[in-house]
């Protein structure tokens, strides 16, 4: 699976302010004894084991298994757990299905909340103030920077993440993938397509 999809896209530039705030808050909490540096390192190691491939498998099953799709739309967290993920302490998860008439794109306007318990830590661009402000004002313009130029008659729905709920975008299944296995389909799902900023790869773009 590709983390970046089309290499020619130019997403909004990430600003470094979140790194400064994150570092300062972490050091302050360690100093106050809320948690230790070892706790931070252990959590980082655990987070590194959660990668976009986990979400890609969920999307592939959503595409290929109608019964799973119905369960996922009814209870995204429970359906995601069927793939073997440990989501006992995770927030609620809602799956947003894209259609030929509707494109979802997610943002956390307050900070950088994302479904990291499914696809791993969010990319820098998602955490940047630039993206968080611009995607609300001009979602079509932002998506175009991922070479995701949408028809004028397609609805673009920007969904703001909350502290209680995370969202996983299910990109539109590419044409020409009938009869593909879940493993083959998962290779078409990029990390950024699960945020809704780009489409899934087409056959041939993932090396099939």
Residue 148 within a domain = yes
CATH number, domain containing residue 60: 3.90.330.10
Per annotation, catalytic residue among 2, 64, 112, 128: 112
- Catalytic: which of 2, 113, 128, 193? 113
Single out the residue in 7, 34, 49 at which a domain terminates: 49
Task: Tell me if residue 15 is catalytic.
Answer: no
**What pLDDT score does 22 carry?**
63
Domain membership flag for residue 206: no
Query: 35 and 93: one domain?
Result: no
| Residue 193, CB-side half-sphere exposure with 13 Å CA sphere | 29
Residue 29: give the domain boundaries: 15-49
Number of domains in the chain: 2
Supply the pLDDT for residue 98.
98
Residue 29 belongs to some domain of the structure: yes
Tell me: do 85 and 163 sit in the same domain. yes
Residue 108 annotated among the catalytic residues of the structure? yes
Residues of the chain with pLDDT under 50: 1-10, 14, 40
pLDDT of residue 2: 40
Mark whether 32 and 62 lie in a shared domain.
Answer: no
User: Does the active-site annotation cover 112?
Assistant: yes
CB within 8 Å of 180: residues ≥ 6 apart: 64
Residues 32 and 95 in one domain: no
At 118 the pLDDT is 93
Q: Are 36 and 86 within one domain?
A: no
Model pLDDT, residue 172: 98
Q: Tell me whether residue 111 is one of the annotated catalytic residues.
A: yes
Q: Are residues 153 and 93 in the same domain?
A: yes
Are 117 and 85 within 8 A, CB to CB?
yes
15-74, pLDDT tens digit by residue?
A: 555 566 666 766 666 676 766 665 545 555 555 556 799 999 999 999 999 999 999 999
């Amino acid at each position: 699976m590709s983390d970046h999809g089309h290499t020619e896209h130019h997403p909004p530039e990430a600003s470094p302010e979140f790194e400064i705030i994150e570092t300062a808050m972490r050091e302050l909490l360690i100093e106050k004894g809320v948690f230790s540096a070892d706790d931070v390192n252990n959590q980082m190691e655990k987070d590194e084991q959660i990668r976009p491939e986990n979400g890609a498998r969920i999307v592939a099953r959503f595409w290929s298994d109608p019964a799973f799709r119905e369960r996922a739309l009814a209870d995204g967290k429970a359906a995601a757990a069927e793939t073997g993920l440990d989501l006992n302490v995770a927030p609620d998860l809602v799956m947003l299905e894209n259609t030929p008439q509707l494109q979802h794109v997610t943002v956390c306007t307050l900070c950088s909340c994302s479904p990291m318990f499914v696809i791993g830590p969010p990319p820098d661009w998602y955490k940047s103030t630039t993206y968080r402000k611009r995607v609300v004002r001009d979602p079509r313009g932002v998506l175009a920077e991922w070479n995701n130029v949408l028809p004028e008659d397609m609805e673009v729905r920007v969904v703001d993440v909350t502290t209680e709920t995370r969202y996983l975008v299910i990109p539109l299944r590419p044409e020409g993938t009938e009869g593909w296995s879940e493993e083959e389909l998962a290779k078409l799902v990029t990390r950024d397509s699960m945020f809704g900023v780009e489409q899934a790869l087409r056959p041939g773009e993932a090396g099939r």
